[in-house]
Structure 1
């Protein structure tokens, strides 16, 4: 009997697992035949988010040279390295290009096709363009994967859930806002993937409140401006007249930081230094667990500071008052208060010091007497950010970015560490391309975009939505439309994906934040007693081993690659053992 593996989700994660199976199979798989069933209603490779059938106005959020689906020798994994082209090498485009998502979808389709072509001849791949509804079966026997509009299940020796980003039912607040909108004839768009949202209900010329200032907002901004016929002439936006007026705010009240616009040169910081495998092992070994704010964040701060000052002292020594060896030794030995005093004495210009709190909350303690004053102040903030992020004199910012990647590689091992870290990482390391922020400035000058401020509050009252912020006390904006510009946060209980909900109802464990709990070693799904399921695996943002959500940059270790490899090797080892083969 041929063995059977079902992979639910044929997007980048499912494709990555398939690539690792192809790389490891010649050494690990000795069976006579294996059928791999890919279950996804969307195209293999690209999946839903990166499908080629979407607006050509939507860009990738990374330079084409910083996107790869292939491993290299920086990835700490047991399987063989199979190098391949980055997006820019494959497409033959400038590496500094922010390519369209359609092109990324084509790249992912090609990666999928290459992985299939490299599988041994006894391994066959079958794509089922349907949704998977549930998985049943005992721990000891074959699993049944039930598909939409198919009366008989797929039989599987093993199942890998690579579900990707999922829709979620609204929480209590969103349900109340939607109900209020329905009663009063308003428009409320809850968290969603912007490319899939129906924006036609947002009327031209009318105010629209937008809560969220990250990447979902950038997509919304593009589709409601250029997507409605507006265009740019240099730094000037020429409206079509069909745009709404966007009133945007968030917890921080500012857009994500710009992508860095210069190339790295010289020595890289020797990372990890203060948050590496040894420190992660020690945290995981604590019998009573650990607290992120108390136990992990101080290590994160110290690591990012080390990356910043290593670059400053070794590349811009004229802006420092100590030698690097002396500073490094004192920095390593000092407590947080001592490090602050050390930095104050050794780095004369405050602009050269790393202040994570100020970076994270730039509007804290600031208030403006009028909305117009704040519009100009926020435009000035964005202009300063753009100037700094495109000026190699401030290359310690790039070093902090590398530090963030290093830290993320360790935090993935710690499991579900809460959403605040992921938001902080995205804000500093995964902001929009510089040209998008320049478009934002042009829209602001044209009056199409208005800034609300930090800690934006939305009230549903008086038959409308009202927005306010302590950044501009006393100013209230009324609108008949509210858009939540952020991605859904699916939990095992609120995910619209029936498979995930059924899995949880069947006894799978969840973290306090509602993520599916998996074994850190190879992604096996854990039950509520902490036992790994021998035949079910899960990878991706719906699990507590989630990564950053971004594509891997070449030569950065790629935690997702390491996870994919571990899962693929466990799958192949299981199927290679006669005792692990199909049991009725």
Structure 2
């Protein structure tokens, strides 16, 4: 291509969903912001396929599923998106899959998009909006979204994928950036670099290294926190007793891989009850956590009433007031009451509109009083008690948060019966549209989650509140309520419990080691005096962000050179090191300690950064924070690259992989 000006070059490290979302926004904004007389070359660097990336790659067990219904997954903006760029609607996963069921095959809308493999294609042809798809189906969707984004780029924008690991980036703040790739001699030379690696692995922490050393001494098995799909479970023997610390999604995945994944099967009776038929190759799983119960089941119904108008009590106006205040904010004291009131509004809006027969006041009268009262006031309690006669229809955060709080059981068998009853009731409630108020609360919970990053960026929370409140209690509470497994997984859990292959340890789990027996131990105050011994321990949760221990070679080098800054929140009472990359909240530019401020040519997005609440894909019509950030960053990138007078053409740094589409020259 012959241009009046030399090509601009952007390198994006990481080619998963976050990079795909950024590429979609570049395509959407390019007609307005990119000069057609200049070429833009975008290098994507990732050893895993562009679109799904590592986490959502096709090459993982077909047993692993999403924890979202197909209709609740989208990569596209919509009418709720508060963005400066153009809204370009696109299909949710469910809508995309529907084209396969009627034979039109949505791949026709994205030239050169590969057809899913036969197993995934068969799934897509029968997938409904309320099904929980396999991760391989999501991989196919993300691949299609990536190809569609490529096809939407103007002729002057070209994308090349390098199947490699980025190991370093160097260059002055006012000059070209050199991105080095493993196994390549020549670097990629870029005007701007975006770091979008997604969820990263970390080297084991001190406590995990100590347990690994114990396991080696006694010929036992210890698995540190990590992605379940990548865990090497081959060392676990049939019948071996295994302690799993963590009762969230990582546990659910491990449960599937160690039971069905080893040849067992579930059989459904006429009433839907499951029975597990073991293969004889399964280990025995002892599971516990801080709460001692699994995450709440995902709802499997739609709102029965109108969508609640959110945000109402925890939106921009409320944040303005909080940020403008004079004193540092404590999350639980100053912020949580507004968050709780917002979630309560979503809950009661659905209850009053969808199930008015279970309320005792007209909605206008209730909401007028609700709006003026504080969440934790006696007047609010009296209002809700009078307006909502049924206790099961009232929102009780404390009971939701710690269901085993203050409960003590004499034997593990007694705990087993209680947990089984708790799980069965939870699944039944989350699959019964009569309790759709829970979905109203869930939508409000998502709204609250999306508002919090602004409060954090304003620096108004105390260090202790960020550490123990935001990154501690709130993150766990949100995940517990909003990120649980589909109901069928919890019914499988009940069947495995009945078969004796999953056993419950209780809340506030304490894990240790016994040198005399060479076993790992687990104990809980829920069953005082009872100690479980096992020959294997799995830390069943994902590692959090940690710049000190990251296994990503590029981030590790930048951090050790002072070119990345860890988020540190401190005040006279406490210092909190979050392990996250500190970025400029306006444009995502990394804060360079050497420069003493944002690096003008390096940007970081997503999971490893201090821009919390940035999931790469989202539920439709929720004004997703990541979509807003993608749009803002894409527009800033295009403006900067279009204005930058690059001094010479960039070396491509080796042969890129063929994407099947050549966009532009």
Q: TM-score normalized by structure 1?
A: 0.96
Contact kept, 8 Å, 2:241 with 2:284, in 1: the verdict is yes
- Give the match's secondary structure for 1:167: coil
Match of 1:304 in 2: 343
Query: Cα distance, 1:427 vs. partner?
Result: 1.2
1:284 Cα deviation after fit: 4.1
Secondary structure of residue in 1 paired with 2:180: strand
1:385: how far off?
0.3
Q: Are 1:433 and 2:522 counterparts?
A: no
Change (3 A) 1:337 1:426: same
Q: What secondary structure, in the 3-state scheme, does the structure 1 residue paired with 2:537 have?
A: strand
Confirm whether residue 495 of structure 1 aligns to residue 561 of structure 2: no
* Structure 1 residue 422 corresponds to structure 2 residue 475: yes
Report the more deviating stretch, 330-339 or 454-463. Answer: 330-339
Which of these residues, 230, 239, 244, is aligned with residue 210 of structure 1?
A: 244
SS at match of 2:566: coil
**What is the match of residue 182 of structure 1?**
216
Q: How does 1:73-152 map to 2 (within 5 A)?
A: 73-92=79-98, 93-152=127-186
Match of 1:237 in 2: 276
**1:77, 1:317 → 2: CA distance?**
36
Distance 1:575 1:581 in 2: 12
Task: Identify the match of residue 27 of structure 1 among 17, 32, 52.
Answer: 32
Residues 408-432 of structure 1, C-alpha deviations (whole Å, 9 max, x = no match): 1111333474243222112111210
Pair 1:143–1:289, CA change in 2 (3 A): farther
1:242-257 counterparts in 2 under 5 A? 242-257=281-296
Residue aligning to 1:290:
329
Distance (Å, rounded) in 2 between the aligned partners of 1:550 and 1:2: 29
Partner Cα distance (1:580, 1:562) in 2: 28
Aligned to 2:398: 357
- Correspondence for 1:373 among 402, 414, 432: 414
- Residue 397 of structure 1 pairs with residue 438 of structure 2: yes
Q: Equivalent of 1:317, from 339, 356, 359?
A: 356
The Cα offsets for residues 128-156 of structure 1, whole Å up to 9 and x where unpaired, read as 11111121111111111111111221111
Distance 1:292 1:379 in 2: 34
Choose the corresponding residue for 2:300, options 250, 261, 278. 261
Pair 1:486-2:552 in alignment: no
Deviation at 1:548, TM superposition (A): 5.6
Q: Tell me the CA shift for residue 346 of structure 1.
A: 2.9
Return the offset for 1:581.
7.3
Measure, in 2, the Cα distance between the counterparts of 1:378 and 1:199: 27
Decide whether the 8 Å contact of 1:210 with 1:249 is kept in 2. Answer: yes
Distance in 1, matches of 2:320 and 2:328, equals 12
Number of equivalences: 584
1:15 aligns with 2:80: no
- Alpha-carbon separation, structure 2, partners of 1:582 and 1:257: 56
Write out aligned runs for 1:423-572 (5 A). 423-461=476-514, 462=516, 463-505=518-560, 506-511=562-567, 512-528=577-593, 531-547=597-613, 549=615, 551-572=617-638
Question: C-alpha deviations, 1:278-328, integer Å up to 9, x for none?
Answer: 222344455765332233212111111121122223333332333323322
DSSP-derived class of the 2:377 partner: helix
* Structure 1 gaps, min length 5: none
Aligned-CA RMSD value = 1.8
Is the Cα contact below 8 Å between 1:259 and 1:430 reproduced in 2?
A: yes
CA deviations on 1:268-287 (whole Å, 9 max, x unpaired) are 22211110012223444557
What is the CA distance between 1:439 and its match in structure 2? 0.5
Structure 1 residues 500-546: Cα deviation after superposition (integer angstroms, max 9, x where no partner): 22222324222231111112222111234873221111111101113
Q: Distance in 2 between matches of 1:15 and 1:164?
A: 12
Change (3 A) 1:194 1:334: same
Cα distance in 2 for residues equivalent to 1:176 and 1:281: 46
Alpha-carbon distance between aligned partners in 2 of 1:112 and 1:128, rounded to the nearest angstrom? 15
Please give the alpha-carbon distance, in whole angstroms, between the structure 2 residues aligned to 1:287 and 1:580.
46
Match of 2:110 in 1: none
1:70 aligns with 2:126: no
1:118/1:548 CA distance change after superposition, 3 Å: closer
- Tell me the distance in 2 between the aligned counterparts of 1:123 and 1:306: 46
Provide the residue aligned with 1:326 in structure 2.
365
Q: TM-score, normalised by structure 2?
A: 0.85
Secondary structure at the counterpart of residue 607 of structure 2 = coil
Contact residue 588 and residue 604 of structure 2 kept, 8 A = yes
Aligned-residue offset at 1:583: 11
Partner Cα distance (1:582, 1:299) in 2: 54
Task: Answer with 523-532 or 474-483: which moved more.
Answer: 523-532
How far did 1:333 drift? Answer: 2.3
Match of 2:381 among 330, 335, 340: 340
* Deviation at residue 103 of structure 1 after TM alignment: 1.4
Distance in 1, matches of 2:46 and 2:222, equals 29
| 1:538–1:284 CA distance, 2 compared to 1 (3 A) | farther
Secondary structure of the equivalent of 2:590?
strand
2:318 to 279, 282, 306: 279
Tell me whether 555-564 or 512-521 shows the greater mean CA deviation. Answer: 512-521
Q: Secondary structure at the match of 1:491?
A: coil
Q: Which runs of 4+ in 1 moved over 6 A?
A: 580-584
**How much does 1:551 deviate?**
3.0
Structure 1 partner of 2:104: none
Q: Distance in 2 between matches of 1:17 and 1:581?
A: 26
Quick one: distance in 2 between partners of 1:530 and 1:547?
Answer: 26
SS in structure 2 of the partner of residue 268 of structure 1: coil
What's the offset of the Cα at 1:464? 0.9
- Distance in 2 between residues matched to 1:549 and 1:226, nearest whole Å: 29
**What does the per-residue CA deviation read over 1:36-67, in whole Å, with 9 as the maximum and x for residues that have no partner?**
00000000001001101111111111111111
